[in-house]
Amino acid sequence: MRLYPPIPFQRKSAIKPDFLPSGHKVDADSTIIIFLYAMGRMRAIWGEDAAEFKPERWVSETGGLRHESSYKFFSFNAGPRACLGKHISMIQLKTVVLEILQDYDIEVLKEQKIEPYPGVILRMKNGLNVTVKNRC
- pLDDT above 90 for 43: yes
CA distance 72 to 36: 10
Confidence category of residue 25, pLDDT binned at 50, 70, 90: very high
> By percentage, how much of the chain surpasses pLDDT 70?
100
Q: Are 112 and 126 contacting, i.e. CB atoms less than 8 angstroms apart?
A: yes
Nearest CA to 118 out of 32, 6, 34 is that of: 6
User: What's the average model confidence in pLDDT over 54-75?
Assistant: 87
The pTM for the full model equals 0.70
**pLDDT band at residue 28 under the 50/70/90 scheme:** very high
Rounded distance between C-alpha atoms, residue 99 and residue 132, angstroms:
14
pLDDT value of position 90: 84
Angle, alpha carbons 9-96-131 (nearest 5°): 90
pLDDT over 90 (residue 82)? no
Task: Identify the CA nearest to 71 among candidates 45, 42, 43.
Answer: 45
Return the CA Rg of the chain: 18
